[in-house]
Amino acid sequence: MNKVIYMDNAATTATRPEVLEAMLPYFGQTFGNPSSIHGVGREARKAVEAARKQVADAIGAEAREVYFSAGGSESDNWAIRLGCAAMSKKGKHIITSAIEHHAILHTCEAMEKEGYRVTYLPVDEFGLVSVADVENAICDDTALITIMAANNEIGTLQPIKEIAEIAKAHGVLFHTDAVQAIGAIPVDVKEWGVDMLSMSGHKFHGPKGIGALYVRKGIRMSNLIHGGAQERGFRAGTENLPAIVGIGKAIELAVAELPEYTEKMTALRDRLIDGLTERIPEIRLNGHRTKRLPANVNISIRYLEGESILMRLDLAGIEASSGSACTSGSLDPSHVLLAIGLPHEIAHGSLRLSLGMENTEEEVETVLNELPKIVENLRAMSPLTPAYLR
Amino acid sequence: MYSEKVMDHFANPRNVGEIEGASGSGTVGNAKCGDIMKMDIQVENGIIVDVKFKTFGCAAAVATSSMATEMVKGKTIEEALALTNKAVAEALDGLPPVKMHCSLLAEEAIHAAIEDYQKKHPQG
Ligand SMILES: Cc1ncc(COP(=O)(O)O)c(C=O)c1O
Ligand code: FES
């Protein structure tokens, strides 16, 4: 069989060879504990702080505003908890959106159990949060707003700068989950005006299990993990040294490559969207046509069920996803697709193709040839397919 | 996650389609996931001589219906009624636990088709 075509970069990306190379010495000769006094320890400390600077520079922050974590989920959990704690005097109300990642939604649900009120803002048919809705939802006791920068399933980009302005005007903290945005669109925390921002290394060709949380200086920090003095005492535990080096290198490379990435991904994405729309009757693009991640394609294919499409694609050597990787084990259609108003059976037949720099025009053409065949074949098998499509 | 047999029946499903003027046909929905299956049977002298299915469902639904149609073809109505989703799943070398409910779709669709047949052909 030909080489596998990987179009699931929103689930995770391959660690770049340059990143791996940068990490390797820290498993080997520079294995030291960054808290140690001796030479190899000091080398390790230097590497951690250099990586912190790389992350900070990539998002327009100061190094001391960057805290390492074990990934996007951990950063999201931490941000909500520390934001609420910092604002405890103001009140117990959180505003978020209906299409957040579960790392946000489930943390908000946990906060509800602890006595917080949470407003889950609806989105429009394109997955956009309305800035006016955010403003209207703010109450005297609102402590925190958390709205994602880019959606992992349908790729919709939110008006983060405008929401940040409103949050600021009302004295409310604003966190954004930028896990899908870093390395995909320009991110500058000062220009956006966000108070906190989450990222995850494995979404931009860094290693898995490492993330970072930006917390604007001046916000009262609180602990995620109690113990030693790591991460200025707020997240104890000996640092994941090689992974920290990896996320630093990965974000530096991703940001340097951004103009090229944007151009190439947008072209491949649009070719896919246009080609599929031309070749497959009765499909719909989910998300916004232009306010969209450059590498995200999400379509609903009527009369079909997502897993069957994915597995047929897999048999044809094309790796994609039907929602986010974490929900593919569940039977319910994605909460994001339901939130944009798709009926149950259409949400069920959705497919996400998320591109990366390794993808080529030829691979896109292969998908454009294979997918219509698979759809036709599966539609012939579906009791829902109307006669004119058979 | 799926056995080789499931993958085989998913990639090359047997008995897909519809039977024109079927002796009995049944459509059932899966309460758990919303998926749908339609089963047609052709009965002659109390024996299921032909069976065809269509499904809007996951890979496990496709594979179990494909296997189930093979298992009831050539059998008597009584034998077909005795077929359980567990037997079908076993014939496929097992299903992941979250996918066991999918195999119910095939069993229920066969039962619905037989019921329809019996309604149309009251024994007497
Ligand atoms: C938007 C978003 N937030 C959070 C996460 C969680 O990141 P991680 O897998 O690093 O915990 C993901 C990735 O699955 C994501 O896409
Ligand atoms: S998940 Fe619906 S039939 Fe399997």
Cβ contact (<8 Å) for B56 and A304?
A: yes
pLDDT band at B33 (very low <50, low <70, confident <90, very high): confident
Cβ contact (<8 Å) for B56 and A305?
A: yes
Cβ contact (<8 Å) for A381 and B16?
A: yes
The 3-state DSSP class for residue A6 equals strand
Q: State which residue of chain A sits closest to B8, comparing Cα positions.
A: A315
Residue-wise pLDDT for B63-111, tens only, equals 999 999 999 999 999 999 999 999 999 999 999 988 888 899 899 999 9
Cβ contact (<8 Å) for A383 and B36?
A: yes
pLDDT value at residue A324: 52
Q: State which residue of chain B sits closest to A316, comparing Cα positions.
A: B11
pLDDT value at residue A203: 98
A292, A264 contact by CB (below 8 A): no
Residue-wise pLDDT for A253-292, tens only, equals 999 999 999 999 999 999 999 999 999 999 999 999 999 9
Give the pairing of strands B36-44 and B24-29. Answer: antiparallel
Pairwise CA distance, residues B92 & A59, whole Å: 52
pLDDT value at residue A223: 94
pLDDT value at residue A330: 64
- Is the C-beta atom of B47 inside 6 A of ligand 2? no
Find the farthest-apart pair of alpha carbons in chain A and give their distance in angstroms, rounded.
76
pLDDT value at residue B121: 87
Q: What DSSP letter does each residue of A290-323 carry, written as one string?
A: SSB-TTEEEEEETT--HHHHHHHHHHTTEE-BSS
Q: How many CB atoms sit inside 10 A of residue B69's CB?
A: 26
Q: Which atom of ligand 2 is nearest to the CA of B33?
A: 2
Q: Does B117 touch chain A (CB under 8 A)?
A: no
Residue B104: its H or E element: helix B100-120
Structure tokens at B74: 């050539």
Q: Name the residue with the closest Cα to ligand 1, atom 7.
A: A72
What interface predicted TM-score (ipTM) does this complex get? Answer: 0.88
Cβ contact (<8 Å) for A331 and B57?
A: no
Q: What is the dihedral of CA A186, A210, A298, A1, to 10 degrees?
A: 120
Alpha helices, DSSP H only, in B12-99?
A: 59-72, 77-81, 85-91
B39, B109 contact by CB (below 8 A): yes
**Residue A166, burial from CB neighbour count under 10 angstroms (0-12, 13-18, 19+):** middle
Enumerate residues lining ligand 1, CB below 6 A. Answer: A 71-73, 76, 101, 103, 148, 152, 177, 179-180, 200, 211
pLDDT value at residue A388: 85
Which one of B56, B64, B99, B103 would you mutate to disrupt binding with A, by most A Cβ within 10 Å of its Cβ? B56
- Centroid of ligand 1 to alpha carbon of A293 (angstroms): 15
pLDDT value at residue B124: 47
pLDDT value at residue B52: 97
**What distance, in Å, lies between the first and last C-alpha atoms of chain B?**
48
User: What is the pTM assigned to this prediction?
Assistant: 0.94
Q: Does B100 touch chain A (CB under 8 A)?
A: no
- Centroid of ligand 2 to alpha carbon of B107 (angstroms): 13
pLDDT string in tens for chain A (390-residue length): 568 999 999 999 999 999 999 999 999 999 999 999 999 999 999 999 999 999 999 999 999 999 999 999 999 999 999 999 999 999 999 999 999 999 999 999 999 999 999 999 999 999 999 999 999 999 999 999 999 999 999 999 999 999 999 999 999 999 999 999 999 999 999 999 999 999 999 999 999 999 999 999 999 999 999 999 999 999 999 999 999 999 999 999 999 999 999 999 999 999 999 999 999 999 999 999 999 999 999 999 999 988 899 999 999 999 999 865 555 556 678 999 999 999 888 888 899 999 999 999 999 999 999 999 999 999 999 988 888 887
Catalogue the active-site residues of A.
326
pLDDT value at residue B1: 82
Chain A: residues touching B (Cβ < 8 Å): 303-308, 311-312, 315, 329, 331-333, 344-345, 348, 380-384
Tell me the pLDDT of chain A averaged across its residues: 95
Alpha helices, DSSP H only, in chain A?
A: 17-23, 39-59, 72-86, 102-113, 131-137, 160-169, 189-192, 241-256, 258-279, 306-315, 335-339, 344-348, 361-381
For a pLDDT cut of 90, what percent of chain B falls above it?
Answer: 79
Tell me the pLDDT of chain B averaged across its residues: 92
